Structure 1
């Protein structure tokens, strides 16, 4: 009879719950049972883990094996538990000293060949581990820089299960070829495993900021519209830009993040956690330290805008724009129910999504910019225009934006076409 335990993290939205992964071996017919409210993707880890252990040179125990995920009342999903399940099984079979595993949090998916693959939500998972008092985490090599953003955490980045076994067993760490994405050497930086005396001597990686290239200084003319953008940035006011096609509404909205202040350290971690859960962090740039910009198409569904979807709820555009700018171009073309769904996050600064498996909460404190034509053809103007839309069509078009939504918009700016004389003058 053998028993071992280690830890992983279950994500509920952008909040994590530390899960104890326990493995128990008993005499009997060889079988692998996984308990603790796993979903379909987690149940499939039995086959992935077995193949990864065997292909990494390990011996799969031919006994009755039970793996429990505690607390059992928390729904668990995804492939990020693979690494913890494999090490718990190897600890129960005494390939690894079980005492080494107790205080380590492991996050990563295993390929059938034993390679450790990246998963979503590494940063919020490591944040949850740090809040629970853990100081050592094991993650895929390519996610080590992201995990290292959390202060007070020792991070071990590995390419394969073979490397992890060697470190935990205080054996020479084998070399592994880079995967098909050509990622750098393993980040086995300064993590000392308890009870082994093993410490790696490889370098760490710093965070690289995410840069944006639009600048408000590039805009010529549009004095009133530029003033509206500057006031919106200074006071955090929602903005409504109305004007004919080609007047520069989108151009102005794209340059709004450039004049917003850079995010603080805490705000950067909040934003990065959301983008990590969504799987949208740029390669090699683990920390988002500038205001994000999100501009969904007007055909976006309510789930795409506010979050949700089938199975595990994912963050929507309002959460991806957290601490930044949400730009809705051609706003009247969005569905009325989709637009009205924005009223709650505009007030509370977060989105709550209820599902049968539980309630998920995503942050959504953003600066909203709406852009619209004055009429269906876009040529209507109170100062005279070539618009041929009947008054009833203009009223119906403008009525697509509900009063309760517009009441939450502080600034409304008319954006006119730039004249030729303005184009010849650099501001």
Structure 2
């Protein structure tokens, strides 16, 4: 029996004689341009996006107003500033051809509400940079930066990240101090690595300990007691320098290291245990100036504006450091007391007390390297800078009393 194919469609089986003409082609009656736009809109839309993307990629990039650097989890305490400048802080000495406006940078300053940090912030804002300050106000103060509030180029974040610089403060919690120097520095170096920034570590002359070499040069490795009462700060800063150089060598982070010697000026903490602030505050209050030991220990004192200029030169230069930043003018404690007496009160008295543990006997920077490679040296002498500090201290110590007296006088007059 012959097989038979059965058509199971719903309609009738098509006849082989049926004819269906080919569909009419619309482009035969429409203009080609109208046909393309009507039937290929998606293709033209995608092409437009590609052209626009290529155009914007060729434009020079610029920072987005109000954008924020992401700050990593930071660590306890504070206070000598660490500075981070995004895009490597490039730009040489900052000189700009005549007629062109200098492009401001975005700078993060830890401890920016403290003594040195706030003066650095003033300098950066004045030259047109945008500044983010991170501070926990342990030894700093909002009053030091309040004049920048409302400035769109200034931002203040309350957080712990850097380290207190005076013995009174860093001995208060030594574990927290060394933890800050290590973990805080690690966090900021990690941030610098992520955003491609140049990192400035403000180290200290304390890395030399009680030096056996005088004056101290940057190649001297120091004489530090690793188990002494000051080691939380001294060794902490030495570790911070190690971490900074390891990130430079191992992760190609651009770094700069400054070793800061004794610095004085307005906005210092009044009772922070450092010799200049101690002498000035005691003389103003008519208290005996406290000299520890025999008073023959030496220090070198630089005015804060000189230090800030040195930090700027270092950050914008091409040399890593470390660099000693200090005034090589050397004074004994008794000589300093004499200068303070001549500035404030010739009748001020001196009181001798036993010396503190691990107190360095001599401290004087060799700044040859800074002179040759940075073109920097201090300009303000002690006798010129000290009166400026005294004016600030006088206002802060007696300001409330003077204001209260003036108010009482006005009230009595009105009665």
Q: TM-score, normalised on structure 1?
A: 0.22
Asked which structure has the greater CA Rg, the reply is 2
More helix by share: 2
Q: State the TM-score, normalized to the length of structure 2.
A: 0.22
Higher strand share: 1
